[in-house]
Amino acid sequence: MPACIEGRNVNLTFRPPNRRPVRALHGFDIEVEEREFLSIVGPSGCGKTTFLNVLLGLVKPDSGELRIRGKPISGPGTDRAMVFQEFGLLPWRTVLNNIELGLELKGVPVETRRHISRRFVHMVGLAGFEGHYPHELSGGMKQRVGLARALATDPDVLLMDEPFAALDAQTRDVMQVELLRIWQEARKTVLFVTHQIDEAIYLSDRVMVMTKRPGHAKKIFTIKLPRPRDYEMRVTREFNDLKLEIWQELKDEITV
């Protein structure tokens, strides 16, 4: 049985007019198993977000192979969904209407999509806020709506591009706990981009460290910490030893 996500020797160079080409990815390899939670950390500009856009089908690589469940990626598809750093909610739509947006675009009947979106309202802990608008929500609540909207379309793969970067530290910690709860319930394959080593370790089954641009995998760490995980595990020796190991791999890639 093939892995859920397979990438082999993916290469991509941006060629903007009247400027030098920019090599974003070079020889990028990745393999993610079904229902695995894999995080990617790397220096700014190394191609983390670019790779998610390639996987989403929004950007076509120059060469290489990229497959979802053995099928080549030729463009956007309903088997993938993205949760962005910016909340991306439509301000004129309520929580419930925002969550059902993807279902509406797929042509799902009103009653069916309303039933599905209500289920995800409860899953992400927003019961009672169905009729609220984005400007009435906190940052953490907005990100819950974005997560519910992505999950409502039932994708095989959930891509998350620094989804908690805009949140304050306490809300970010709470959202990490909530994401693990939702992931364990929804059982999706997750590819998560972050700059925070602590966050990557806490959430993930494995953590990939990327090189500086042009980006490719430098080293992958298997996180053997037991699940379910709690906040207190972050102060254990095992957690901090692993954090130091990952930092040692990452620091040489960061140019000041």
What 8-state DSSP symbol labels residue 99?
H
| Mean pLDDT across 107-113 | 90
CA distances from 41 to 74, 131, 132, 199, 232 (A): 26, 37, 35, 10, 22
pLDDT given at position 85: 77
Residue 190 pLDDT exceeds 90: yes
Q: Spell out the domain ranges in the chain.
A: 1-76+156-163+190-256, 80-154
Give the model confidence (pLDDT) of 57-97 as tens digits.
999 999 999 999 999 998 898 899 999 877 788 999 999 99
CATH number of 1-76+156-163+190-256: 3.40.50.300
Percent with pLDDT over 70 in the chain = 99
* DSSP class per residue in 212-227: SSSB-EEEEEE----S
Residue 231 pLDDT exceeds 90: no
Residue 256 pLDDT exceeds 70: no
pLDDT given at position 254: 86
pLDDT given at position 255: 67
pLDDT given at position 1: 65
How far apart are the C-alpha atoms of 165 and 162, rounded to whole Å?
6
Residue 28 pLDDT exceeds 90: yes
Read off the pLDDT band of 174 (50, 70, 90). confident
Give the model confidence (pLDDT) of 201-230 as tens digits.
999 999 999 999 999 999 999 999 999 898
Read off the pLDDT band of 33 (50, 70, 90). very high
Give the model confidence (pLDDT) of 111-155 as tens digits.
999 999 999 999 888 999 999 999 999 988 998 999 999 989 889
pLDDT given at position 102: 87
Q: Which residue do the tokens 């009672």 mark?
A: 128
For the chain, what is the mean pLDDT?
Answer: 92
Question: Using N-to-C axis directions, what is the helix angle for 169-186 and 110-123, rounded to 10°?
Answer: 120
